[in-house]
Structure 1
């Protein structure tokens, strides 16, 4: 028995609609807006929610003094193909040097780190 279940993963950001659009392009799903709160309802996955945070300071990876706050691990079949798509959507690579690993780290347009992981 659990006390709670995940209702949504919420990311603070400077522009909730823009960041929801980025993740909709990456994951699919439907973007819904309600009085400043933006949600992305992903097919078969959790709800990602985005709230405006004036003065948002993006995390830096890796940096202990500006922690990543949270990150998403996103599973893909083809790392190279997925990388092209996330870069076209506006992601920035954070660890382009080591291409031999089974994951790659990027930042979304608001600076939150996320990983593409080979399945």
Structure 2
């Protein structure tokens, strides 16, 4: 028997509403602010997401031999090239643009958190 169940994945960032809007454009849903420090993403498929203001937020480095990426999200897509074009237009940054010979690619969201697009 499990002690707990996953409630929500929370991403720290400088601007919770802006980051929630980015992920809403990527995975669907509606950003729903509780206040200026917390925004839930509601109405999308998948694990619940929320975004929390973190003053002085420093994005993780990827890849970094002396540091950790902390966590990342794997987002499954039907068309890798089309999804890449869309996330880049939304403000993502490609972190491994040369990696075209595998079924996943790494990006950073506008706040610097790494995420992967993965072919289904």
> TM range, normalised to the smaller chain?
over 0.9
Q: Give the aligned CA root-mean-square deviation in angstroms.
A: 1.0
Distance 1:107 1:28, change over 3 A: same
Q: Which runs of 5+ in 2 are unaligned?
A: none
Q: Is it true that 1:75 corresponds to 2:96 in the alignment? A: no
Q: Which range moved further: 40-49 or 30-39? A: 40-49
Q: Trace 1:103-118 onto structure 2 (pairs within 5 A).
A: 103-118=104-119
After TM superposition, give the deviation of residue 2 of structure 1 in Å.
Answer: 1.5
Q: Which runs of 5+ in 1 are unaligned?
A: none
Q: Which range moved further: 105-114 or 35-44? A: 35-44
Moved segments of 4+, more than 6 Å = none
Count of residues in correspondence between the two structures = 119
Asked if the contact 2:8–2:50 (Cα under 8 Å) also holds between the matched residues in 1, the reply is: yes
- Quote the Cα distance in structure 2 between the aligned partners of 1:48 and 1:58: 18
TM-score, normalised to structure 1's length?
0.95
Q: Which range moved further: 31-40 or 80-89? A: 31-40
